[in-house]
């Protein structure tokens, strides 16, 4: 507890001192064993430490009370977590945002969405984002940097500690473009899936991407078997170039083709996310070309009426009637479609992405 607690306003906490050893939460069991042996410890300690971190979410070595005091103190002297929880913010409907500070002072967010017996955690993969979707707050400042494996993995461990139990689902729909940080994202997913760790089924993990076909193929080659969501938002290159300017141009069909290949390799439908924006991508001809891209290809289309964002007050969601018409037009082509209803104002104001988190967690 801060000695100044209660004094307001408080300056931001100082950045974490730079750690002498690697943050534990980013290490596999083998890597952790190497670190401990290097410190002169017995190899069998590795599993104890690993399970404290990955199963119980104790990311600070100083808090590992199951370890001998000497080992705990030696680790605590040099090893720090990669993230520090700065603030939690609970919304009226139980959605909770977690704000983290990284060792270099940068900040990221995760969101916990409790709903219908599920606890979905929405995880960030980068500080900022290079894709710059016109309706998304994360891309406004561009890409700052990739997150490390520990910075990605610890977000789930913090939420696990907050809940007192493992969250049920993980979606990579926070800040950043996960497939542009694919190595670290895959490493974090492997940690979450490890039976000596949180033991997540890949069916409960979703990677969401606005990114490139070759990276989608790489995710398929990893054979993790996680769910894939493609942030398409447009059905032709011209519109997509406008709404999703940071994605490679001329790749709308290529991205869908990669999604269809992914669906074949995992034998599960891929979700296409399509944020509906009045006058931008909601005309009947947009529905026609979206249907021609997706019908009969194991692709489910998730239509999400835009949540208003402060940096683009000119962008609006279509009327309910227009959105329903767009959905029905797709259905007439045999496309499997979900039209999401608009969310509460407090959530919309807090984070546009929440609409999608909620929508996927309903499935
Ligand atoms: N870069 C990845 C991960 C970010 S999640 C990706 O693009 O998939 C991005 C998702 O958040 C989008 O697909 C969209 O569905 C949702 N989103 C972001 N801003 C939104 C807004 N203002 N209204 C509705 N959905 C939004």
Q: What are 97's two structure tokens?
A: 């945002």
Query: CB within 8 A of 44, min separation 6: which ones?
Result: none
Q: How far apart are the CA of 297 and the centre of ligand 1, in A? A: 22
Query: CB within 8 A of 144, min separation 6: which ones?
Result: 106, 126, 127, 128
Q: How far apart are the CA of 289 and the centre of ligand 1, in A? A: 21
| Fold topology of 83-361 | TIM Barrel (3.20.20)
Residue with tokens 């490890």, as numbered in its chain: 194
- Active site residues per annotation: 109, 351
The response to whether residue 307 sits with its C-beta less than 6 Å from ligand 1 reads yes
Would you say 80 and 101 are in contact if contact means Cβ atoms under 8 Å apart? Answer: no
The response to whether residue 208 sits with its C-beta less than 6 Å from ligand 1 reads yes
Q: Which of 109, 121, 125 is nearest to 198 (CA)?
A: 121
Q: Which of 266, 263, 239, 268 is nearest to 251 (CA)?
A: 239
Q: What are 116's two structure tokens?
A: 């219908």
**Range(s) within the chain of domains with CATH label 3.20.20.70:** 83-361
**Range(s) within the chain of domains with CATH label 1.10.150.530:** 24-78
| Fold topology of 24-78 | DNA polymerase; domain 1 (1.10.150)
Cα torsion for 285, 209, 130, 160, to the nearest 10°? 140
The response to whether residue 352 sits with its C-beta less than 6 Å from ligand 1 reads yes
One pLDDT digit (tens) per residue for the chain, 363 residues: 333 333 444 444 444 444 468 999 999 999 999 999 998 999 999 999 999 999 999 999 999 998 999 999 999 999 999 999 999 988 888 889 999 999 999 999 999 999 888 999 999 999 999 999 999 988 888 999 999 999 999 999 999 999 999 999 999 999 999 999 999 999 999 999 999 999 999 999 999 999 889 999 999 999 999 999 999 999 999 999 999 998 876 689 999 999 999 999 999 999 999 999 999 999 999 999 999 999 999 999 999 999 888 889 999 999 999 999 999 999 999 999 999 875 444 443 334 344 344 444 444
Residue with tokens 């683009």, as numbered in its chain: 312
Give the model's pLDDT for residue 351. 41
Q: Is 114 helix (H, G, I), strand (E, B) or coil?
A: strand
The response to whether residue 173 sits with its C-beta less than 6 Å from ligand 1 reads yes
pTM: predicted TM-score of the whole model, two decimal places:
0.90
Would you say 95 and 354 are in contact if contact means Cβ atoms under 8 Å apart? Answer: yes
């Amino acid at each position: 507890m801060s000695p100044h607690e209660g004094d307001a306003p408080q300056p931001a906490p100082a950045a974490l001192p730079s750690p002498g050893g690697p943050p534990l939460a980013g290490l596999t069991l083998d890597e952790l064993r190497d670190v401990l042996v290097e410190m002169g410890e017995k190899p069998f300690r590795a599993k104890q430490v690993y399970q404290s971190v990955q199963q119980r979410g104790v990311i600070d070595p100083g808090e590992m009370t199951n370890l001998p005091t000497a080992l705990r103190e030696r680790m605590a002297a040099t090893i720090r977590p990669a993230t520090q929880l700065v603030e939690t913010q609970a919304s009226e409907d139980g959605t909770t945002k977690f704000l983290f500070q990284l060792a270099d002072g940068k900040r990221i967010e995760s969101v916990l969405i409790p709903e219908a017996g599920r606890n979905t955690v929405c995880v960030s993969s980068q500080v900022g984002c290079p894709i710059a979707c016109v309706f998304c707050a994360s891309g406004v400042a561009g890409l700052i940097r990739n997150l490390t494996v520990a910075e990605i993995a610890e977000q789930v461990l913090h939420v696990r500690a907050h809940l007192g139990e493992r969250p049920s689902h993980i979606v990579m729909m926070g800040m950043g473009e996960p497939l542009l940080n694919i190595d670290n994202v895959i490493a974090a997913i492997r940690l979450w899936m490890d039976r000596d760790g949180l033991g997540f089924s890949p069916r409960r993990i979703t990677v969401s991407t606005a990114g490139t076909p070759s990276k989608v193929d790489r995710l398929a080659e990893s054979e993790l078997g996680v769910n894939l969501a493609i942030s398409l938002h447009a059905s032709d290159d011209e519109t997509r170039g406008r709404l999703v300017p940071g994605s490679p141009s001329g790749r709308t069909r290529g991205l869908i083709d990669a999604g269809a290949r992914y669906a074949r390799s995992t034998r599960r439908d891929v979700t296409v996310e399509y944020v509906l924006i009045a006058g931008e991508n909601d005309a009947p001809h947009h529905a026609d070309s979206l249907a021609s891209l997706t019908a009969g290809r194991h692709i489910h289309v998730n239509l999400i009426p835009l949540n208003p964002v402060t940096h683009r007050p000119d962008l609006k969601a279509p009327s309910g009637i227009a959105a329903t018409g767009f959905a029905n037009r797709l259905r007439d082509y045999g496309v499997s479609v979900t039209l999401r209803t608009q969310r509460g104002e407090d959530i919309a104001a807090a984070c546009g992405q929440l609409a999608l988190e909620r929508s996927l967690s309903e499935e």
